[in-house]
Chain A
Amino acid sequence: MATDRLMFPRPQTARVSVERTPVESQCPSCGSRDVARYPVSNHLGPRMVVKCQTCFTRLSVTRAEPEDMWPAWRSPTRDWPASRVG
Protein backbone atom coordinates (compact mmCIF):
# COMPACT_ATOMS: atom_id res chain seq x y z
CA MET A 1 0.00 0.00 0.00
CA ALA A 2 1.28 3.45 -0.83
CA THR A 3 0.93 4.80 2.68
CA ASP A 4 2.22 1.89 4.70
CA ARG A 5 5.70 3.24 5.30
CA LEU A 6 5.05 6.71 6.61
CA MET A 7 4.66 6.22 10.37
CA PHE A 8 6.39 3.90 12.78
CA PRO A 9 6.19 3.07 16.50
CA ARG A 10 9.07 3.88 18.79
CA PRO A 11 11.28 0.81 19.33
CA GLN A 12 10.50 -1.14 22.48
CA THR A 13 14.12 -1.71 23.48
CA ALA A 14 16.21 1.02 25.08
CA ARG A 15 19.01 0.51 22.56
CA VAL A 16 18.82 -0.56 18.94
CA SER A 17 21.25 -2.19 16.55
CA VAL A 18 21.74 -3.08 12.91
CA GLU A 19 21.44 -6.80 12.20
CA ARG A 20 24.05 -8.50 10.02
CA THR A 21 22.61 -11.60 8.38
CA PRO A 22 25.21 -14.31 7.72
CA VAL A 23 25.46 -15.36 4.07
CA GLU A 24 26.81 -18.68 2.78
CA SER A 25 29.64 -17.37 0.67
CA GLN A 26 33.39 -16.99 0.48
CA CYS A 27 35.31 -13.77 0.15
CA PRO A 28 37.10 -13.63 -3.20
CA SER A 29 39.84 -11.46 -1.70
CA CYS A 30 40.81 -13.18 1.54
CA GLY A 31 38.93 -16.47 1.41
CA SER A 32 37.04 -15.84 4.64
CA ARG A 33 33.63 -17.42 5.01
CA ASP A 34 32.54 -14.73 7.44
CA VAL A 35 30.25 -12.94 5.00
CA ALA A 36 27.11 -11.01 5.90
CA ARG A 37 24.32 -8.99 4.29
CA TYR A 38 23.08 -5.79 5.96
CA PRO A 39 21.86 -2.23 5.34
CA VAL A 40 24.39 0.59 5.09
CA SER A 41 24.66 4.13 3.91
CA ASN A 42 27.35 4.52 1.28
CA HIS A 43 28.39 7.58 -0.71
CA LEU A 44 25.10 7.54 -2.64
CA GLY A 45 22.68 6.79 0.17
CA PRO A 46 20.93 3.69 1.49
CA ARG A 47 22.15 0.40 0.02
CA MET A 48 22.28 -3.30 0.95
CA VAL A 49 25.73 -4.83 0.99
CA VAL A 50 27.00 -8.37 1.05
CA LYS A 51 30.37 -7.94 2.59
CA CYS A 52 33.30 -9.90 3.93
CA GLN A 53 33.50 -9.26 7.66
CA THR A 54 37.20 -10.04 7.73
CA CYS A 55 38.54 -7.65 5.07
CA PHE A 56 35.41 -5.59 4.13
CA THR A 57 35.50 -6.61 0.47
CA ARG A 58 32.06 -5.83 -0.92
CA LEU A 59 30.66 -8.89 -2.68
CA SER A 60 27.62 -6.90 -3.78
CA VAL A 61 26.09 -3.47 -3.37
CA THR A 62 22.43 -3.23 -4.33
CA ARG A 63 19.37 -1.16 -3.72
CA ALA A 64 17.17 -2.55 -0.98
CA GLU A 65 14.29 -4.92 -1.73
CA PRO A 66 10.92 -3.87 -0.31
CA GLU A 67 11.18 -6.50 2.43
CA ASP A 68 14.51 -5.03 3.54
CA MET A 69 12.66 -1.93 4.76
CA TRP A 70 15.75 0.17 4.15
CA PRO A 71 15.22 2.87 4.81
CA ALA A 72 12.02 2.14 6.66
CA TRP A 73 10.18 5.24 5.36
CA ARG A 74 9.29 5.60 1.73
CA SER A 75 7.55 8.07 -0.54
CA PRO A 76 3.88 7.08 -0.89
CA THR A 77 3.94 8.01 -4.59
CA ARG A 78 7.23 6.31 -5.31
CA ASP A 79 5.94 4.18 -8.19
CA TRP A 80 3.40 6.62 -9.63
CA PRO A 81 3.84 8.23 -13.05
CA ALA A 82 5.30 11.74 -12.79
CA SER A 83 3.56 14.90 -13.95
CA ARG A 84 5.39 17.97 -15.26
CA VAL A 85 5.50 19.37 -11.72
CA GLY A 86 6.63 16.19 -10.01
Chain B
Amino acid sequence: MRRLLGLLVIVLFITLFALVIASGGFGYEVPPSRVRELARQFLVYAYNPFNTTFTVKSPEAVTSIVWDFRGLDTLFETLVFYLAIIGALSLYRGIESGKRAEVISLGLSPIVKTVTKLTAGIIITVAASIALHGHLTPGGGFQGGATAAVAPLLILIVFSKYFLENLGLRKNVLLALRSIGLLGIGVTAFSALIIGLAAGSPAYVFQNQPKPDAPVGLPVHIGDSLISGTLWFFNFFEMFAVAAGFTVIFLLLGIPEGEVLKQLREEVGEH
Protein backbone atom coordinates (compact mmCIF):
# COMPACT_ATOMS: atom_id res chain seq x y z
CA MET B 1 0.00 0.00 0.00
CA ARG B 2 2.84 2.37 0.95
CA ARG B 3 4.69 1.44 -2.28
CA LEU B 4 1.55 2.11 -4.31
CA LEU B 5 1.15 5.50 -2.62
CA GLY B 6 4.80 6.36 -3.34
CA LEU B 7 4.38 5.34 -6.99
CA LEU B 8 1.24 7.47 -7.25
CA VAL B 9 3.09 10.51 -5.84
CA ILE B 10 5.98 10.05 -8.29
CA VAL B 11 3.69 9.65 -11.32
CA LEU B 12 1.58 12.63 -10.24
CA PHE B 13 4.69 14.79 -9.70
CA ILE B 14 6.15 13.93 -13.13
CA THR B 15 2.81 14.54 -14.86
CA LEU B 16 2.26 17.91 -13.20
CA PHE B 17 5.87 18.97 -13.79
CA ALA B 18 5.61 18.06 -17.50
CA LEU B 19 2.31 19.95 -17.70
CA VAL B 20 3.84 23.09 -16.15
CA ILE B 21 6.85 22.98 -18.53
CA ALA B 22 4.69 22.30 -21.59
CA SER B 23 2.29 25.15 -20.83
CA GLY B 24 5.16 27.64 -20.53
CA GLY B 25 5.20 27.96 -16.74
CA PHE B 26 8.94 28.70 -16.65
CA GLY B 27 8.71 31.58 -19.07
CA TYR B 28 9.66 29.76 -22.26
CA GLU B 29 7.93 27.40 -24.64
CA VAL B 30 8.84 23.70 -24.87
CA PRO B 31 9.25 22.74 -27.68
CA PRO B 32 10.10 26.20 -29.07
CA SER B 33 7.72 27.40 -31.77
CA ARG B 34 10.54 28.76 -33.95
CA VAL B 35 14.02 27.52 -34.86
CA ARG B 36 16.80 28.89 -32.63
CA GLU B 37 19.12 31.46 -34.19
CA LEU B 38 22.24 29.22 -34.20
CA ALA B 39 20.31 26.28 -35.70
CA ARG B 40 18.79 28.62 -38.31
CA GLN B 41 22.26 29.79 -39.34
CA PHE B 42 23.51 26.21 -39.73
CA LEU B 43 20.46 25.33 -41.84
CA VAL B 44 20.83 28.43 -44.02
CA TYR B 45 24.60 28.25 -44.54
CA ALA B 46 25.16 24.46 -44.91
CA TYR B 47 24.30 24.59 -48.62
CA ASN B 48 23.90 28.14 -49.82
CA PRO B 49 24.85 28.85 -53.47
CA PHE B 50 23.95 32.55 -53.09
CA ASN B 51 26.29 33.29 -50.18
CA THR B 52 29.54 31.63 -51.24
CA THR B 53 31.70 33.09 -48.45
CA PHE B 54 29.99 31.36 -45.51
CA THR B 55 28.63 28.14 -47.01
CA VAL B 56 30.08 24.63 -46.85
CA LYS B 57 28.27 23.54 -50.05
CA SER B 58 27.08 20.31 -48.41
CA PRO B 59 23.35 19.51 -48.08
CA GLU B 60 24.07 17.47 -44.93
CA ALA B 61 24.08 19.96 -42.03
CA VAL B 62 25.60 17.56 -39.47
CA THR B 63 28.66 16.79 -41.61
CA SER B 64 28.99 20.53 -42.36
CA ILE B 65 29.13 21.26 -38.64
CA VAL B 66 31.40 18.32 -37.80
CA TRP B 67 34.04 18.82 -40.52
CA ASP B 68 33.81 22.54 -41.25
CA PHE B 69 32.07 24.81 -38.73
CA ARG B 70 33.79 22.97 -35.83
CA GLY B 71 36.34 21.01 -37.83
CA LEU B 72 39.20 21.52 -35.37
CA ASP B 73 37.12 19.88 -32.63
CA THR B 74 36.63 16.78 -34.80
CA LEU B 75 40.35 16.65 -35.60
CA PHE B 76 41.15 16.47 -31.89
CA GLU B 77 38.44 13.82 -31.39
CA THR B 78 40.18 11.77 -34.08
CA LEU B 79 43.49 12.31 -32.27
CA VAL B 80 41.97 11.13 -28.97
CA PHE B 81 40.82 7.94 -30.69
CA TYR B 82 44.30 7.56 -32.22
CA LEU B 83 45.96 7.96 -28.80
CA ALA B 84 43.54 5.53 -27.14
CA ILE B 85 44.58 2.84 -29.60
CA ILE B 86 48.26 3.66 -29.06
CA GLY B 87 47.57 3.10 -25.34
CA ALA B 88 46.04 -0.31 -26.02
CA LEU B 89 48.97 -1.23 -28.28
CA SER B 90 51.50 -0.27 -25.60
CA LEU B 91 49.76 -2.61 -23.15
CA TYR B 92 50.28 -5.48 -25.63
CA ARG B 93 53.87 -4.50 -26.55
CA GLY B 94 56.19 -7.38 -27.31
CA ILE B 95 53.44 -9.99 -27.34
CA GLU B 96 53.59 -12.15 -30.46
CA SER B 97 50.31 -13.45 -31.80
CA GLY B 98 51.75 -16.72 -33.09
CA LYS B 99 51.49 -18.02 -36.65
CA ARG B 100 49.64 -20.91 -38.20
CA ALA B 101 49.93 -22.02 -41.81
CA GLU B 102 46.96 -24.42 -41.73
CA VAL B 103 43.80 -22.44 -40.88
CA ILE B 104 41.03 -24.09 -42.91
CA SER B 105 40.04 -26.52 -40.14
CA LEU B 106 39.62 -23.69 -37.59
CA GLY B 107 36.49 -21.68 -36.99
CA LEU B 108 32.77 -22.37 -37.28
CA SER B 109 30.96 -24.71 -39.67
CA PRO B 110 31.00 -24.34 -43.51
CA ILE B 111 27.41 -23.02 -43.47
CA VAL B 112 28.35 -20.02 -41.31
CA LYS B 113 31.58 -19.51 -43.28
CA THR B 114 29.69 -19.33 -46.60
CA VAL B 115 27.19 -16.80 -45.25
CA THR B 116 30.02 -14.73 -43.75
CA LYS B 117 31.86 -14.67 -47.10
CA LEU B 118 28.73 -13.18 -48.70
CA THR B 119 27.94 -10.69 -45.93
CA ALA B 120 31.51 -9.42 -45.42
CA GLY B 121 31.46 -7.97 -48.95
CA ILE B 122 28.03 -6.43 -48.40
CA ILE B 123 29.19 -4.85 -45.11
CA ILE B 124 32.23 -3.26 -46.80
CA THR B 125 29.96 -1.91 -49.57
CA VAL B 126 27.52 -0.39 -47.07
CA ALA B 127 30.42 1.09 -45.08
CA ALA B 128 31.90 2.71 -48.19
CA SER B 129 28.49 4.13 -49.09
CA ILE B 130 28.01 5.57 -45.57
CA ALA B 131 31.46 7.18 -45.56
CA LEU B 132 31.67 8.45 -49.16
CA HIS B 133 28.11 9.84 -49.09
CA GLY B 134 28.74 11.45 -45.70
CA HIS B 135 28.40 14.93 -47.18
CA LEU B 136 25.05 14.07 -48.85
CA THR B 137 23.20 11.80 -46.42
CA PRO B 138 23.47 11.09 -42.68
CA GLY B 139 26.68 9.21 -41.93
CA GLY B 140 30.34 10.09 -42.36
CA GLY B 141 33.86 8.83 -41.93
CA PHE B 142 33.63 7.56 -38.35
CA GLN B 143 30.31 5.79 -38.91
CA GLY B 144 31.52 4.27 -42.18
CA GLY B 145 34.80 3.14 -40.60
CA ALA B 146 33.05 1.59 -37.62
CA THR B 147 30.74 -0.28 -40.01
CA ALA B 148 33.67 -1.46 -42.12
CA ALA B 149 35.41 -2.82 -39.00
CA VAL B 150 32.50 -5.25 -38.49
CA ALA B 151 33.62 -7.27 -41.55
CA PRO B 152 37.08 -8.21 -40.13
CA LEU B 153 35.45 -8.81 -36.73
CA LEU B 154 33.06 -11.33 -38.32
CA ILE B 155 35.93 -13.02 -40.18
CA LEU B 156 37.94 -13.11 -36.92
CA ILE B 157 35.13 -14.95 -35.09
CA VAL B 158 33.85 -17.19 -37.90
CA PHE B 159 37.15 -18.15 -39.59
CA SER B 160 39.82 -17.42 -36.95
CA LYS B 161 42.39 -14.76 -36.10
CA TYR B 162 45.06 -16.62 -38.08
CA PHE B 163 42.90 -16.61 -41.23
CA LEU B 164 42.56 -12.81 -40.96
CA GLU B 165 46.33 -12.43 -40.51
CA ASN B 166 47.04 -14.74 -43.47
CA LEU B 167 44.79 -12.46 -45.57
CA GLY B 168 47.39 -9.74 -44.97
CA LEU B 169 45.56 -7.79 -42.24
CA ARG B 170 48.47 -8.00 -39.80
CA LYS B 171 49.09 -5.52 -36.99
CA ASN B 172 51.79 -3.52 -38.74
CA VAL B 173 49.85 -3.30 -42.03
CA LEU B 174 46.81 -1.96 -40.17
CA LEU B 175 48.93 0.52 -38.20
CA ALA B 176 50.40 1.82 -41.47
CA LEU B 177 46.89 2.15 -42.95
CA ARG B 178 45.74 4.02 -39.85
CA SER B 179 48.68 6.41 -39.98
CA ILE B 180 48.06 7.05 -43.70
CA GLY B 181 44.44 7.88 -42.81
CA LEU B 182 45.49 10.38 -40.14
CA LEU B 183 48.16 11.85 -42.43
CA GLY B 184 45.49 12.32 -45.11
CA ILE B 185 43.28 14.16 -42.63
CA GLY B 186 46.21 16.41 -41.72
CA VAL B 187 47.07 17.15 -45.36
CA THR B 188 43.40 17.91 -46.11
CA ALA B 189 43.29 20.29 -43.15
CA PHE B 190 46.26 22.22 -44.57
CA SER B 191 45.19 21.92 -48.24
CA ALA B 192 43.51 25.35 -48.50
CA LEU B 193 46.55 26.96 -46.83
CA ILE B 194 48.90 25.24 -49.30
CA ILE B 195 46.76 26.43 -52.23
CA GLY B 196 46.72 29.93 -50.72
CA LEU B 197 50.52 29.99 -50.32
CA ALA B 198 50.95 28.80 -53.91
CA ALA B 199 48.48 31.38 -55.23
CA GLY B 200 49.93 34.13 -53.05
CA SER B 201 46.70 34.93 -51.23
CA PRO B 202 45.78 34.70 -47.55
CA ALA B 203 44.23 31.40 -46.40
CA TYR B 204 43.36 29.54 -43.19
CA VAL B 205 44.09 26.12 -41.75
CA PHE B 206 40.91 24.02 -41.92
CA GLN B 207 39.46 26.28 -44.59
CA ASN B 208 37.01 24.71 -47.03
CA GLN B 209 35.21 27.29 -49.20
CA PRO B 210 36.41 30.86 -49.92
CA LYS B 211 36.08 33.31 -47.01
CA PRO B 212 35.70 37.13 -47.25
CA ASP B 213 39.42 37.81 -46.57
CA ALA B 214 40.74 34.50 -48.00
CA PRO B 215 39.46 34.02 -51.55
CA VAL B 216 40.94 30.53 -52.14
CA GLY B 217 38.96 27.29 -51.57
CA LEU B 218 38.66 23.68 -52.56
CA PRO B 219 36.56 22.59 -55.58
CA VAL B 220 32.90 21.86 -54.83
CA HIS B 221 32.47 19.40 -57.69
CA ILE B 222 34.68 16.76 -59.32
CA GLY B 223 33.11 16.25 -62.72
CA ASP B 224 29.38 16.27 -62.04
CA SER B 225 29.67 14.83 -58.52
CA LEU B 226 29.29 17.07 -55.49
CA ILE B 227 32.22 16.52 -53.08
CA SER B 228 31.76 19.66 -50.92
CA GLY B 229 35.45 20.62 -50.92
CA THR B 230 37.32 19.10 -47.99
CA LEU B 231 34.38 17.10 -46.58
CA TRP B 232 34.70 14.14 -48.97
CA PHE B 233 38.45 13.83 -48.31
CA PHE B 234 38.00 14.07 -44.54
CA ASN B 235 35.35 11.34 -44.62
CA PHE B 236 37.45 9.16 -46.92
CA PHE B 237 40.60 9.29 -44.75
CA GLU B 238 38.67 9.09 -41.48
CA MET B 239 37.06 5.84 -42.68
CA PHE B 240 40.49 4.21 -43.14
CA ALA B 241 41.84 5.52 -39.83
CA VAL B 242 38.82 4.30 -37.85
CA ALA B 243 38.37 0.93 -39.62
CA ALA B 244 42.07 0.07 -39.26
CA GLY B 245 42.12 1.27 -35.64
CA PHE B 246 39.19 -0.90 -34.59
CA THR B 247 40.60 -3.92 -36.48
CA VAL B 248 43.94 -3.60 -34.66
CA ILE B 249 42.09 -3.69 -31.32
CA PHE B 250 40.04 -6.72 -32.40
CA LEU B 251 43.23 -8.53 -33.43
CA LEU B 252 44.87 -7.76 -30.07
CA LEU B 253 41.82 -8.95 -28.15
CA GLY B 254 41.81 -12.07 -30.32
CA ILE B 255 45.18 -13.27 -28.95
CA PRO B 256 44.40 -16.22 -26.63
CA GLU B 257 44.73 -15.27 -22.96
CA GLY B 258 46.92 -18.28 -22.22
CA GLU B 259 49.43 -17.20 -24.83
CA VAL B 260 49.57 -13.63 -23.48
CA LEU B 261 50.14 -14.88 -19.90
CA LYS B 262 52.81 -17.35 -21.05
CA GLN B 263 54.76 -14.63 -22.85
CA LEU B 264 54.39 -12.22 -19.90
CA ARG B 265 55.75 -14.87 -17.49
CA GLU B 266 58.70 -15.54 -19.80
CA GLU B 267 59.41 -11.81 -19.86
CA VAL B 268 59.33 -11.62 -16.06
CA GLY B 269 61.52 -14.74 -15.81
CA GLU B 270 64.24 -13.18 -17.95
CA HIS B 271 64.82 -10.33 -15.49
Bound pair (A, B):
no
